[in-house]
Amino acid sequence: MGGTFDPVHHGHLVAASEVAARFDLDEVVFVPTGQPTFKLDQDVTAAEHRYLMTVIATASNPRFTVSRVDVDRAGVTYTVDTLRDLKTARPDAELFFITGADAIAQILTWKDADELFSMAQFVAVTRPGHALSVDGLPGDRVHVLEVPALAISSTDVRARARAGQPVWYLVPDGVVQYIAKHRLYRGQS
């Protein structure tokens, strides 16, 4: 599951858990982006913070791991590079890339879009406030899954933290503590 994870929240975690159960996955690898392609104009939190928050958030689930491939690769993150690196690290693995409804809607604009579908199957999950459509995508490589609806976004968590509003129960407890300790999202959009 790729994402900016700025910060990781329960919407990400519940989606990952549901996909893991439904597709009987051995492992869900969370891959925080380096510099995200579609957020070049935004002030994205340092990759190391986003990586560590994802590690904290996933620590209690033995099936969840976090990969540094995108954080450690220089330059803008493209999913085609993510999948190449994951495939190199796990040559025998059958890969499923998990995306929310908003992300799958953009996928044909991603770099080397055709190649993506040969490298992995895609699981598009439902997300409140976003229509889920996989029209025009290869049906044998793209799956749709309804997941418990949590209307949480990282944008909202950041805005709440900035405004001094609570973010408890939107993100895991350890992530609340990490945000407070490192004073993240203060004076930033």
Which spans of this chain sit near ligand ATP (rule: CB under 6 A)? 3-6, 11-12, 15, 99-100, 102-103, 125, 127, 150, 152-155
Length of the chain counted residue by residue = 189
DSSP conformational letter for 73: S
Q: How far is CA 21 from CA 17, 25, 27, 112, in A?
A: 6, 7, 10, 29
Residue 14 or 93 having the CB closest to ligand ATP: 14
CB of 93 to ligand ATP, least distance (A): 20
In whole angstroms, what is the distance from residue 134 CA to residue 32 CA? 24
CB of 61 to ligand ATP, least distance (A): 16
CB of 156 to ligand ATP, least distance (A): 7
**Residue of 32, 45, 34 whose CA lies nearest to 155:** 45
Residue 49 or 127 having the CB closest to ligand ATP: 127
CB of 109 to ligand ATP, least distance (A): 14
